Every structure is written in structure tokens, then in C-alpha cells.
Structure 1
Amino acid sequence: MGESLGRRAGRGLRWSLLGTMVTKVGSFAMGLALARILAPADFGVYAIAMAATTVLMHINDGGLIAATVQWRGKLEEMAPTAATMAMGMAFGLYGLFYVTAPFFAEAAGNRSAVGVVRLLALVIVIDGVTAVRSGSLMRNFQQGKLVTANSVGLVANAALAISLAVGGAGPYSFAWGQVAGAAVTGVLVFYYGDVPFRYGLDRAIARKLLVFGVPLAVSLGVEAIVTNAQFTIIGHLTGPVLVGFYLLAFNVASWAQTTLGQAVRYVSVAGFSRLSERDGDALSNGVLRTMPLLVTVMAPIIALTAVLATPLVTLLYGDRWAPAASVLQILVGLTLVRMATGMCTDVLTAAGATRATLWLNVGWAVVLFPALWFATKAGAIHGAALAQTGVGLLVAVPLTAVALRRSKVALRPLALAMVRPLCAGVLAGAAAWVAVHFAGGPYPFFQLLVGGVVGLLVYVPAAIPRDQMKQWVALIRRQPAPAEAA
């Protein structure tokens, strides 16, 4: 008998969590080293380049990675067509962007970013070549192989980036490291991917892939614009130094979301796709099991990061990065929004509702861009952070709820299940603030220690019901819970 979906998805999630933790810890360590070697202005130039490249990374494969994961038929039938389309799109986008890079850098207020933009965009080509094989590994829950590829690529990235930074390469150290790491990862993914090495073009399959993939690619592109256009706007209005502070705050605020969210997304589309093929409320029940658990994990991280932002930034990055702390306190609210909307986008994609994801992100972008422009002009990087977080909460969350309801996901039980951890997070943050204010002392390390310990001691019993806690403890000990034993 074949292995159950739950067991395969669980194994894939464990590998994803392990791999994401390894890569994020490595990226964090590399970021610490580069922050102490490079100047904030170098981070600003890199932020502009990343803003462009990230958008293109989301659209360069035309949604073909997700289409590979979600494909209902035999993978061998669609792989040659999908691989040909992904490569063609990637090379075409890179050529177009190479030509337009000077105009983009000028619009972002820093023409010196042209070379960095062109270099970093090579990652697009690598991603296009390996798109179908990456999708195949996700589809078959072979996240262990992706973990290996990403980890080896990170080592190559860090070694080259830090060496170049020490040698005075400035923002180019980021770009060369990223390209080298992507190349190493791409070679391993190409080797691991269990897909025939064939290229071709079947018009019927291509049409089917485009119907699914184009709305998703546009949607992901808009999502990436929502996330990354802020750096271009802020860079244009405030200059590279302030956008460097903003980039660091945004990255720190995104630690938990990118670590947990990336791990979950490696398996969520495949898992929810299989659930969407079943009759009844299987998909809705899957969301109800998953989303509250994510909120329970994220709530204390967000609350404690907001309270402990200043000692966190100064301890890790040094006093010269202290202006980023007050921006971080605002942006952590956006973290929960991005986590929730990202998970819901995966649900909609798995259900084949790619047009719904498009309209969700378009609605978000239409409100965000003017708000971000005026808020940045009025309040610099603090205004930008307020605009991002406020529009996320007031616009993106309601739009996501509407899209889920149309896909027959029950919202009321989902909302009720998230009330307790959210309230517990607020309570934990308040307790941590009091503890730091009265017992934290002048040293950042002790402020983090006292605030973190007190906050978690308050959060755990407030967020997790006693019966559920007993079941978790019993599961860890591999013993039956008291209720089950009876």
C-alpha cells in the first residue's frame, strides 16, 4: 500500500523546516558579517537590485513551478513543454531587463545600481532552467533533496560574498554571492530532479499550462511588487542610507515569516492540491487545522520582536544600525499579514483559483502604492512602514477572506480558532515590556533574555489550552494522553 498523503506531507514539512532553518541561520550569520563590513549605503544599492530581481523571479517561469506541482496528469507528458516554456520566458525576461536596467536604477534614485541589477538578474535564468525539476521535487514531497541543494548553494554564496566584501567589492559582493549560490543550487536541483531530459512543445499542454500559470504568475508578480516596490519608492524619496536602514528592519521583521513560511510553502501547494481533489470539506478542514497552528507559532514572535526591537538590533548589528529598530517595531505587524495571505494564496492555487490570487494582489497593490508614496514623503521610512502594515491589515486581510469564502473555506471557525493566540500574543508583549522596563538593565543581551523568558512564560499557558498541552507533551514522550488512556 502506498504511503498516506499525511505521512508524505509531514515528512516533507520536517525536511523543509530543517532545511529552511539551516539556510536562514546561515543567511543570518552572513548578514551579520556583511552588516559589519559594508556601509548602510551598500545595503541600499543592494535593496534596489533585489527589488527588481525578486519581482522577475516570481513571474519568470510563468507559474510553471506551481503548475508542475498541481498538474493532474502524468508529469512525463507535460515536462518537456513546461521546461521549454520556462527556459524561453527566463531568457526573454533577462534580455529585456538587461536593456531596461538603467531606467529602473534611475527611477529608484541610484544610477550606480545598474551593474548590480544586471548581475543579480542572472539568477532568473538559473531559476528558469531548473523550474520544472524544482516543481517535481515539491510535487513528490522530496524536500530533502531541495534542502541539500539549497544548503550547499548557501555555503557557496556566503564564502564568495564575504570574501568580496572584505576585498572592497561593496554591493557587488551581495550580487556575486547570490549568483554563485544559485548556480550551485541549480546544478544540484537539475541532478536530483526525476524528470526526463527532454524539450519540446505540445500546443494543447502549453495552452493548459498558460490558463493555469499566467494568472498565477501575474499574481505572484504583483505580490512581489507589493513586497519589493517599497525599496524603489523609499530609495527615490529618501536616498540609499535610509533605505538601507529600512531594508535591515524589513529583513529582521521577515525572519520568522520567511523561515516558517518558506518551509510550509514547499509542501502546502502539493498537500492542499491533493485535498482539493477530494469531495466535501476536505480542503476547508485542512485550512482549519493549519492556519491556527501557524498563528499560534507566529504570535509570540511578532509580539516579542516589537517589544525587544531596540536591544535586538543593537546587539546583533551594532549601534550604527539603531535607527532601524523603530521601523522594525512597525513592520512586525506586516509579518503576520504576509504569513496569512501567503498561506491562503497557496490554498487558492491548490484549488485552481489562480485568478482569485491575482485580484487579491492587484487590490492590495492599487491601495498600497499611493499610500506608500504619500506616507514616505510625510514620514520617511517610518511613514513607509506604517503604510505597508496598515494597508496589509485593512485591505489585504479582508480581500483574502473574501477569496477564501468563494473557494468554500469556512471562515467563522477559522477566525474563532485564531482569537486566543492573538490575544495571548498581546498579553505576552505587555508582560515582556514590563519585565524589560523594571528588570532588564542597561545591557541589550539581558533585556532580550528577561523579556523573552517572561513573554514566553506568559504566552504558552495563555495561548495553548491545558488539554492540548497535555496531548503535545504525551506525544513528545510517546505516551497516550490521559484522556486517551481512559
Structure 2
Amino acid sequence: MSGSESRPEPAGEDAATAPVGTVDEAGGSAQEHGGGTEAHVGTIGRKAGRGLRWSLVGNLGTKLGSFTIGLILARLLVPADFGVFAVAMAATAFVMHVNDIGVIAAGVQWRGKLEEMAPTGTTIAIAFSTLVYAAFFVGAPAFATLAGTPDAAPVVRLLTVIIIVDGITSCRSAALMRRFEQDRLTKATMIGMAANFVVAVPLAFEGAGAYSFAGGQVAGTIVTGIIVWRMGNLPLKLGFDREIAKKLLKFGIPLAASLGVESVLLNADYVIVGNVLGATALGYYLLAFNVSNWVPGLVGTAVRYVSIPSFSRLAEQQPEALAAGVRKSVPVLISAILPVAVLMAVLAPYMVVFLYGDQWGPSAAVLRFLTVLMVVRMLTSLAFDILTSVGATRSTVVLNAGWAIALIPALWFGTHLDYIRGAAIAHGIVALAVALPLAVGALHRAGVPLLPVLPALVRPAIGAVACAAVTMLVVRVVNGGVFLHLFVPGLAGLLVFVLTVVPLDQVRQLRTRLARAR
């Protein structure tokens, strides 16, 4: 958690095995809240809502910090430096997905006292993180060469240090998420981001190249880890209990495998683009991918911090409660992500030039197609959380493995046919044609059908089409510089989407409240 913005923290297989009435730190029992589905949904919803608000604040701060650092470094570094860092980031993303072997997820959904699990969990996480780091330290030159950027090897070795910190703080992070103490996580993350800035920017001014990114992230992770360690409020104790370890590994191994495959999905393009086209082209691609990750990184990560404990508690008590939560969550998520994706796709050339300068223009063609992946990733991430909450972690392995099997050859052919734009197109096609159907099918088999959600998605779909049409029309008629071409069409398209999606009675209620406030 402390070292990766996009890292999911799902619960494990045992999420569905606890008896009804189990009491835990996060939500209490159904009996305590009146025994009814709606009452329990409301209780968990209030706790999750508070956690979500703080997660959004933290992710907004992190994204603003990352955005600021990226803007500065884009002016100081060359695309090849971004390409070298992309290779190191691909390696780090993989190890961050598997290094704790599910210990954080175990802590979030643990049935019993976390203090009893923590010594064994921490020991396992530290040991496995150290082994994984050692393997990547030795294999860094081979990995960098495979990605077509041999110079990235020492940067890989530096950046992957963050998994050691993550292993040490794993149970402390789980404790904070389990108790919905996202306010503390937010404070730790924000302070870590400040440390990242203080280290990265001076390094860039001194000509450190890709080491600017890596050094800043390592410094930020260490600072965040120290704060999380202190706030986690668990005894400083290592140990090993065979029965506890058996439970952890029972769901941790398939979960780590699934997340490892997921990291391949998110980072195989870096390796393939780097191998085929080199570090400079990869730098352009990385910039576009980072922009497309703004919404999943901000909203998606915040949601996942609370959706796993929330869905886990709902699944633990009553299946009807989980189904009700899903029916409410999916339309809201779709309505939040669609207008952003549409505006980003239409206005990509103006957005890239306005933010990063003319030299980054080739990234715009990539960004347009990566918005499709952005939408699908948000939906499949929610499906992943739902599946793990009902204990179907093996289904997540099938989902991610099927996606990866289709994606890797598609990326290879797409990159050869149309360079970085072809890689982005391949990503979008596979996401729509393979990943989304696999996610829907897995949810149906797990007893969470999405058919009842479809009527609620009609209005957002119409709003997205209207938003795209209006935005493209206004772009054609606007006269002025890059800023006007970005701001005026974007505002017009967003307004059309809101007026299409939000019911008229809700608009009237909002207008009445604003009038009363004045």
C-alpha cells in the first residue's frame, strides 16, 4: 500500500466462511445493527463513506503531488528518461502485487483479533518481500534487457526497495484499513508525497535522469512506512504459528498469483513497447498511460481501500446485502468515469500540449485509445473486489489470466503494426472484447448477476454519446489557443452529460438548496 498508488488490497478466500454474527473491529454484527439487511448496509455504508471521503482526499493529494512532480520533471528530463523509469516501474508494480503474499488482505478480513495474526503475518510478509527483492536484484539486468533498455537495471534495483518497506508495514496497513481509519492513511501518504517531491525535484535539477523518479518514490515510501508503523497500533512482535500461516497461505497464494497476473496486464505494454521501439517511444507511451490512470488512480484506489472491507462485511452477513450494494455501486461508478473518459479522448491533443508542452505531442494519439482501457479497468477492479469479498479468489485468477493470454500477443502485433498508437488500440480492444465479458461471467457464477443493473446504465450511456457529440462540435467552432480549446468544449460536454444523467427533480432539489443557502 505504501509504495503503490494503484495497488489493490482484496480480501481472501475465507471471506465467505465466517459464521453469521461474527463481530469485528470494522463493522460489528448484523444483530447489533438490528439484524436487517438495510440496517446493516446502512451501518457499513456510513463507515465506508467516511473512509471513502478520506481516501478520496488522500488520493487527490497524492495525484496532485504526482501531477506536479510529473509536470516539473517533464520539463527537466527527456522522453528517454521516462522510458527508463517505465521499465523500473513495471518491475516494481509486479513485485508490489505479490510481495506480501496477501497479508494485507488477510488482515482486512481476518475473523478474530488482528493482534493474534500480526506476528505470523508480519514474519511471512517480511520474509517473502526480502526473497522477492533478492530475486529482482539479481535478475534486474536481464529484465531491463528484455524491455529493450539495459540502462534501467540499476534503477530497477533502487525502486524495488519499496517492497521491503511494504512487507514490514503490511499488518499495520491492514489494521488501519480494517478500522476504516483512512484519515490516518491519508496523513501518512501526504507526508510521504512531500518527501518524494523534496528528493525528486532537486535530483532532476542536478541531472539525475530516471533516478529522480526512483529516488523520490523510495524516500516517500520510507517516510510513509514509518508513519504507518507508528499509527498501526499493533505490538512490535514477530512469530510463527503454523495454523495461522496455513490460513494465510490458503488464500494468499492464489490471491498473489491473481494480482501478479494483474500486474502483467498493467505493465506488459511497457516491456513490449520498450523492446520493439526503444526508450524514447516508451517515454511518450508512459506519459499517456499516466494521464489515463488519473481517474483509476484517484477514484479507483480510494474506492478499493473501502470496497474490500465493505463488500467483505456485507457478504459475511447476507448475500442480499451484497447484491444491494452492487446495484447501487455500479451505476454510480459508470456515471463518474464515463464523462471523464469521453472528454479525455476528444480533447487529448490539447490536454497533452497544454500540460506538458509541444515536445510531448506524440502521447496524445495514445491517450485517446487508453481511455477505453481506463473505463474497463474501473469496472473490472470493482468486479475483482466483489469476487474476493465472496471468497471467489480463484475466479479472479481466471479473469486476469484470460485477459493476459489475449493481451500479450495483441500488444505485440499492435506495436509492430502501428507503433505506440497500435499498442493502445490493442489494449482497448482486448479490454472490451475479452476482459469485460470475463468479469461479467465470473460475477454471474459467483451469484452476483449484473442484469438488474442494466436499466440504470441507459441514461449514462446516452449522456456519454451526447457529451462526445457536443464536445467535438464546440472544438470545431472555438477560436483561440490551446487553453480555450481545452476548457470551453470540456465544460460544454460535461454540462450536457450532467443534464442528461441527473434526473430533473434532483436538479430542482439542488437549485432549491442553493437558493436557501444564499
Same fold (TM over 0.5): yes
* Pick aligned residue for 2:51 from 12, 18, 34: 12
Counterpart Cα distance in 1 of 2:82 and 2:218: 17
Given the alignment of the two structures, is residue 461 of structure 1 paired with residue 499 of structure 2, yes or no?
yes
* Pick aligned residue for 1:409 from 448, 458, 464: 448
Counterpart Cα distance in 1 of 2:60 and 2:461: 24
For 1:453, the aligned partner's letter is: L
Superposition RMSD in Å? 1.6
Counterpart Cα distance in 2 of 1:356 and 1:475: 46
Q: Give the SS at the match of 1:408.
A: coil
In the superposition, relative to structure 1, how do residues 287 and 193 fare at CA in structure 2: closer, same or farther (>3 Å)?
same
In the superposition, relative to structure 1, how do residues 67 and 474 fare at CA in structure 2: closer, same or farther (>3 Å)?
farther
* Pick aligned residue for 1:445 from 483, 508, 516: 483
Counterpart Cα distance in 2 of 1:273 and 1:475: 36
Shift of 1:93: 0.3
- Return 136-145 or 448-457, whichever deviates more: 448-457
Q: Percent of aligned pairs with the same residue?
A: 50
Given the alignment of the two structures, is residue 396 of structure 1 paired with residue 454 of structure 2, yes or no?
no
Q: Give the SS at the match of 2:317.
A: coil
* Pick aligned residue for 1:59 from 81, 98, 102: 98
Counterpart Cα distance in 2 of 1:216 and 1:476: 47
For 1:282, the aligned partner's letter is: A
Shift of 1:176: 0.5
Shift of 1:5: 2.0
Show the 5 A alignment for 1:250-399. 250-399=289-438
Counterpart Cα distance in 2 of 1:402 and 1:477: 47
Counterpart Cα distance in 2 of 1:251 and 1:73: 39
Shift of 1:131: 0.9
Given the alignment of the two structures, is residue 208 of structure 1 paired with residue 235 of structure 2, yes or no?
no
Show the 5 A alignment for 1:143-154. 143-154=182-193
- 1:75-96 per-position Cα deviation (integer Å, ceiling 9, x unaligned): 1221111111101110010011
Counterpart Cα distance in 2 of 1:258 and 1:304: 17
Counterpart Cα distance in 1 of 2:146 and 2:163: 22
* Pick aligned residue for 2:218 from 179, 191, 211: 179
Counterpart Cα distance in 2 of 1:411 and 1:182: 38
- Return 421-430 or 390-399, whichever deviates more: 421-430
Shift of 1:279: 2.1
Q: Give the SS at the match of 2:169.
A: helix
Shift of 1:255: 0.6
For 1:121, the aligned partner's letter is: T
Structure 1: segments with no counterpart, 5+ residues = 480-486
Shift of 1:407: 1.7
For 1:227, the aligned partner's letter is: L
Normalised TM-score (structure 1): 0.96
Normalised TM-score (structure 2): 0.90
Shift of 1:428: 0.4
Shift of 1:475: 7.6
In the superposition, relative to structure 1, how do residues 15 and 474 fare at CA in structure 2: closer, same or farther (>3 Å)?
farther
In the superposition, relative to structure 1, how do residues 475 and 259 fare at CA in structure 2: closer, same or farther (>3 Å)?
farther
Q: What's 1:484 paired with?
A: none
> Which structure carries more relative contact order (alpha carbon 8 Å, separation 6+)?
2
Q: Give the SS at the match of 2:238.
A: coil
Counterpart Cα distance in 2 of 1:280 and 1:227: 31
Shift of 1:470: 4.4
